């Protein structure tokens, strides 16, 4: 049976670093699933920094739309998988025209795949609901859907960590 660990927090709170720390403490082979497909120079630089922060021995898969099928395949193995990040998956789905019901269904599917697999999966996500209320409909819709998706993952997780200024606070498990 798979294990799900959820790490959430604000931007630059240390979520990804902490997720990597958890993964490194496990002796199983590692897989990093990146949901960010960089489309501009600034994002390519961010991705490069993320790549440099993990050991070169880790396998990496860059995926977004195919995330559910990739997880189905990879969680059948004895691995530690870091999925970074759920928020980018949700935003890409929203921008590509998926409605809230479909996005939430896909996240529920992700949780079920992990629970029925053999891997330990660490999902990283931004906690976007603690800032300003977005000034446009798409921004508010994204914030709401991301919040609901975070709740789905947290409910299905054995452990949940909330990152504040680089400090992990264990809030479940």
Q: What is the pLDDT of residue 44?
A: 76
Q: What is the pLDDT of residue 45?
A: 80
- Say if strands 59-62 and 79-84 run parallel, antiparallel, or are unpaired: unpaired
Q: What is the pLDDT of residue 39?
A: 74
> What is the tens place of the pLDDT at every residue in 94-108?
999 999 999 999 999
Q: What is the pLDDT of residue 130?
A: 87
DSSP letter, residue 127 = -
Average pLDDT over residues 118-141: 94
Contacts of 67 (CB under 8 A, 6+ apart): 33, 35, 83, 89, 106, 110
Q: What is the pLDDT of residue 85?
A: 92
Angle among Cα 22, 79, 162 to the nearest 5 degrees reads: 30
- What is the set of active-site residues? 50
CA 26 to chain CA mean position, Å: 18
CB 34 within 8 A of CB 60: yes
Residue 96, both tokens: 């590509």
DSSP letter, residue 70 = H
CA 63 to chain CA mean position, Å: 12
Tokens 């999966």 locate to: 121
Confidence of residue 37 (pLDDT cuts 50, 70, 90): confident
pLDDT over threshold 80, residue 13: yes
Confidence of residue 131 (pLDDT cuts 50, 70, 90): confident
Provide the 3-class DSSP secondary structure of residue 10: coil
CB 122 within 8 A of CB 22: yes
DSSP string, 35-52: -----SHHHHHHHHHHHH
């Amino acid at each position: 049976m798979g294990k799900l660990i959820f790490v959430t927090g604000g931007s630059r709170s240390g979520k990804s670093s902490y997720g990597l720390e958890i993964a490194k403490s496990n002796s199983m082979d590692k897989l990093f699933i990146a949901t960010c497909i960089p489309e501009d120079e600034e994002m390519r630089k961010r991705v490069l920094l993320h790549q440099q922060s993990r050991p070169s021995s880790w396998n990496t898969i860059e995926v977004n739309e195919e995330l559910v099928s990739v997880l189905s395949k990879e969680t059948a193995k004895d691995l530690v998988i870091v999925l970074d990040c759920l928020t980018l998956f949700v935003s890409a789905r929203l921008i590509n025209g998926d409605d809230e019901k479909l996005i939430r269904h896909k996240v529920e599917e992700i949780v079920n795949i992990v629970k029925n697999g053999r891997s330990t999966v660490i999902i990283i996500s931004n906690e976007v609901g603690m800032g300003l209320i977005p000034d446009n409909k798409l921004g508010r819709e994204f914030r709401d859907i991301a919040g609901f998706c975070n709740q789905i993952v947290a409910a299905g997780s054995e452990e949940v960590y909330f990152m504040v200024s680089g400090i992990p606070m264990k809030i479940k498990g």
